[in-house]
Amino acid sequence: VANKDNLNLPELISQVVGAIGSLKDTYGDFETHESLRSDQAKISEVLKELTDRLEDNFPYFHPNYAAQMLKAPHPVAVAAYLATMMLNPNNHSIDASPATTQMERDVLKQMAAMFEYPEEFLGHLTWSGTTANLEALWIARELQPTKKIAHSADAHYTHSRMSEVLGTTNVSIPTEADGRLSMETLETELKKGDIGTIVATMGTTGLGAVDPLADIIALARKYDARVHVDTAYGGFFKLIAENHLEPETARHYAALKDADSIVVDPHKHGLQPYGSGAVFFKDLSIGKFYKHDSPYTYFISDDLHFGEIQLECSRAGASAAAIWATLKIFPLTEQGLGSVLIPTRNAAKNWHELLLTSDSLMPYQKPELDILTYLPRVDSLSKLDFVSHELLVQAGSGSRQQQIHLATYVVKPEQLKARGISMTEDAANARILRSVLMKPEHETWVPALHSRVQELARQLIR
């Protein structure tokens, strides 16, 4: 049965709300100020209006949602976040978060170990992949103020945007037909001597492609450049790389330990609600760039406060608590969180196989992780754009139980040609279809998703 599990979330919520209530009671009673008092029935009415308004959403939690990078957090994360949020610790300083600062240290250690990073590293959680990458690029600029930052043309737009914010120059390196950064062009750029940091993306947002990190690092060392890895999406695939990804992809995952900095987002493949990124640096000396005066914080402990090594100030202790609790249930092993990722990878592989023999759909390229791109078999770019869009609209209509939600991805004629797909070039670009198959339930859902999308494609192409 869809959307059912063996967990009783209301019971877990009631457990933590009760426990936090009891904890508060131990400090002695006080009257809530009358300005804060409100009518229970009125609040209930507002919350009813809220849940009604949330009807206006796509079903991100359901395997019929096979569109963007979105899924619901795990109930353990929901309950842990709620419990902690009731106290609202701020992981900026130990004073503001003794318990959750320690939890953050614990989870960072586990994530660093996943990447095979040294035991001594500098890192912290962030609100997002964007802020985590901003910090990595900022450190890149501080270390080499006059040098440029190179990344692939398929890197997340955050890199060029943040380069703008930081006043650095960024160089966009084209990708090969598999969506990976072109090593040849990278070397040409490196030879000019002005690239300070190369950003490798492991799991590009559009295609889920994995840049050839092992080779990038070797080249970077030759030309004295640093390497930052944006693995916001793909980072947790490290857990299954060796046994469940292509050997070539696994080779690049194994090189993560040699990167100068790494970003990963627990709010993507770590079962977390939004507000959960992380950044890691290997060189401890970069801590000097974070030095600042703060006469109003940092008084309870001489230990390092996260505020002393992060750009953000306030940050939810609840995020750290939610990951900490989640990793107790899904440890960072192949059998733990890895068992959630193996079926997502299988889903993409299996759907790709079905597309190869379909009469009306074809793959755009072979998926490297769990992001699949595909297109209707048509003979012109304008038709491709029309059918893809129409397919997305028609698949998403009908009763809620019938709806399948897909995403689109814009490609250029030369990108199609590079992948051996030729058609009349009567438009500058066209949309194709894209499905981020990031829910483990997608594995069993794929045959049904495929047959519905294929049926619609047949009707539209006819």
Ligand X SMILES: Cc1ncc(COP(=O)(O)O)c(C=O)c1O
Please report, as ranges, the residues that interact with ligand X according to CB under 6 A. Answer: 69, 128-130, 133, 156, 158, 201, 205, 230, 232-233, 265, 277
Minimum distance, C-beta of residue 70 to ligand X, in the bound complex (Å): 10
Minimum distance, C-beta of residue 216 to ligand X, in the bound complex (Å): 15
User: By beta-carbon distance, which residue lies closest to ligand X?
Assistant: 129
| Angle in degrees, CA 368, 370, 372, rounded to 5 | 80
Please identify, using beta-carbon distances, which residue of 265 and 308 lies nearer to ligand X. 265
Minimum distance, C-beta of residue 201 to ligand X, in the bound complex (Å): 5
Listed residue (124, 111, 84) closest to 304, CA to CA: 124
Listed residue (190, 270, 277, 261) closest to 229, CA to CA: 261
Minimum distance, C-beta of residue 179 to ligand X, in the bound complex (Å): 12
Please identify, using beta-carbon distances, which residue of 83 and 198 lies nearer to ligand X. 198
Please identify, using beta-carbon distances, which residue of 278 and 327 lies nearer to ligand X. 278
Minimum distance, C-beta of residue 454 to ligand X, in the bound complex (Å): 28
Please identify, using beta-carbon distances, which residue of 156 and 439 lies nearer to ligand X. 156
Minimum distance, C-beta of residue 319 to ligand X, in the bound complex (Å): 12
Please identify, using beta-carbon distances, which residue of 74 and 228 lies nearer to ligand X. 228
Q: In what order do the strands lie in the sheet with 226-230?
A: 122-126, 277-281, 261-264, 226-230, 195-201, 148-152, 170-173
Please identify, using beta-carbon distances, which residue of 69 and 309 lies nearer to ligand X. 69
Please identify, using beta-carbon distances, which residue of 395 and 438 lies nearer to ligand X. 438
Minimum distance, C-beta of residue 56 to ligand X, in the bound complex (Å): 22
Q: In what order do the strands lie in the sheet with 361-363?
A: 361-363, 371-376, 430-436, 407-411
Listed residue (124, 122, 120) closest to 107, CA to CA: 124
Minimum distance, C-beta of residue 268 to ligand X, in the bound complex (Å): 7
Please identify, using beta-carbon distances, which residue of 277 and 343 lies nearer to ligand X. 277
